[in-house]
Amino acid sequence: MNVTPSAACRICLWAASAALLLPAFGQTAKTTSTASKQAASCVVPRGRDALLKLMQCCVRDIKSDGDCREYDAVNRYVIIKDNAPTKPEAYLLIPTMTVTGIDDVQVFAAAYVNLWANAWDQSERYPGWGGRRIGMAINSAHARTQDQLHVHISCIDAKVAQHLVQLPPANNNYDVATVNDLTDGESPFWVAKKAAGTGERMADKSVAVVKAKEPGRYYVLTTMYKDGKGGAAEELLDQRCASAP
């Protein structure tokens, strides 16, 4: 089945192997580590605001924590290394303003709507595997463990990349749209909001982005939390970057 540039279609993605489909966890709270010993000025408490506190540390001083990578004061976000041991090739983009997640109405404001494009630009360095290998995701309100908006940046699972092109029926339901850009009206936030049959329940939605085979195009995949299942598009990422699509 072919996808036209303006198509938005319901598909089922092949479920990747259990070893590659990692749990939908964000940054873990840190106590002591080599990084924190070297830069001990940042204390990150446990709990659902750990990412918020770490982001604030990075803003105050990019050297305050070993996981801080970039601070963009103009576009107002930081890049940090996801310190989960199972995610050696995973990074997070976090806005420097307080916003809970995809369910927060602020995501449609100018300060947030282009964060996907910012994350894609940063993926050239973090993790730096090249556009065809990169995948990005934001989990639903039900699947996240942190209440500060964060975009997961890593590699797309090889099986997912293959089936995005072939679009065979499989297990997990996703709405798929192709866009030419990740900014403004084509921001994945707007794509998710307009996804057919999902109404206005942004808290139930989870979004992933991957580069299409055609130059200058992206796939935006939207999935729903329903009946206690799903809602974690992060499952599409290979956060070890162990497989090549």
Residue 18 lies in a domain: yes
Total tally of structural domains belonging to the chain: 1
CATH of the domain at 178: 3.30.428.30
Residue 243 lies in a domain: no
Residue 132 lies in a domain: yes
Q: Picking from 144-153, 177-186, 217-226, which range would have the lowest pLDDT averaged per residue?
A: 217-226
Q: Average model confidence (pLDDT) for the chain?
A: 81
Indicate the helix (H) or strand (E) that contains 193: helix 188-194
pLDDT value, residue 171:
62
Residue 1 lies in a domain: no
Question: Rounded CA gap, 99 and 58, in Å?
Answer: 17
Q: What is the dihedral of CA 171, 201, 97, 154, to 10 degrees?
A: 10
Could you list the residue range(s) of the whole structural domain that residue 146 is in?
A: 8-238
Q: Name the pLDDT band for 26 (thresholds 50, 70, 90).
A: low
Q: Name the pLDDT band for 157 (thresholds 50, 70, 90).
A: confident
pTM over 0.85: no
pLDDT value, residue 7:
41
Residue 2 lies in a domain: no
Total Cβ atoms within 10 A of residue 50: 20
Residue 146 lies in a domain: yes
H-only helix segments in 17-168: 34-38, 50-60, 110-113, 115-122, 158-166
pLDDT value, residue 103:
94
Residue 189 lies in a domain: yes
Residue 244 lies in a domain: no
